[in-house]
C-alpha cells in the first residue's frame, strides 16, 4: 500500500515538473493550477492495471487540448515524457509493466 502511495506522489511530482518545463520551454500558456490538476489526475489513472496508461494518455490529451490553444508538438512532447515517467515510476515502485 505504501509503494502505491509513493508511486502516485513521485509520479505526480515528476510529471508536473516535466510538463511545466516543456510548457515553459515551448511557450505554451498552460495555467499552473490546471497543469497540476491534470498531472495529478493522470498520474493516478496511470497506476490502474492494464489500461491505465492508455486512459491517462487519452484524458491528458483531451484536457491539454481543452485548456490550451497550442500547436500539437508540445502536447506530443508532454505525452511522451509523461509516459516515460509513468513507466519508470511503475517499474521502480511497483515492479509492474
Q: Is residue 39 a contact partner of residue 19, using CB atoms and an 8 Å limit?
A: yes
Instruction: State residue 96's pLDDT score.
Output: 61
pTM (global) more than 0.75: yes
pLDDT at 49 over 90: no
Report how far apart, in Å, the C-alpha atoms of 55 and of each of 3, 32, 85 are. 21, 22, 15
Assign 95 a pLDDT band (cuts: 50, 70, 90). Answer: confident
Q: How far, in Å, CA of 77 to CA of 36, rounded?
A: 17
**Spacing of C-alpha 80 from chain mean position:** 9
Structural domain boundaries, residue 86 = 2-94
Q: Averaged over 68-92, what is the pLDDT?
A: 89
pLDDT at 97 over 60: no
pLDDT, tens digit, for every residue of 9-43?
Answer: 999 999 999 999 998 998 888 889 999 999 999 99
Higher pLDDT, 49 or 21: 21
Q: Averaged over 65-86, what is the pLDDT?
A: 89
How many distinct structural domains can be found in the chain? 1
Place of cell 515553459: 24
Q: Averaged over 80-95, what is the pLDDT?
A: 89
φ/ψ region of 48 (left if φ > 0, alpha if ψ in -120 to 50, else beta) reads beta
Amino acid at each position: 500500500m505504501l509503494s502505491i502511495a509513493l508511486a502516485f506522489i513521485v509520479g505526480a511530482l515528476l510529471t508536473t515538473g516535466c510538463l511545466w518545463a516543456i510548457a515553459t520551454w515551448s511557450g505554451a500558456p498552460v495555467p499552473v493550477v490546471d497543469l497540476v490538476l491534470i498531472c495529478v489526475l493522470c498520474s493516478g489513472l496511470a497506476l490502474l492495471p492494464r489500461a491505465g496508461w492508455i486512459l491517462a494518455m487519452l484524458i491528458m490529451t483531451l484536457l491539454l487540448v481543452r485548456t490550451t490553444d497550442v500547436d500539437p508538438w508540445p502536447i506530443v512532447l508532454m505525452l511522451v515524457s509523461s509516459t516515460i515517467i509513468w513507466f519508470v515510476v511503475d517499474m521502480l515502485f511497483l515492479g509492474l509493466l
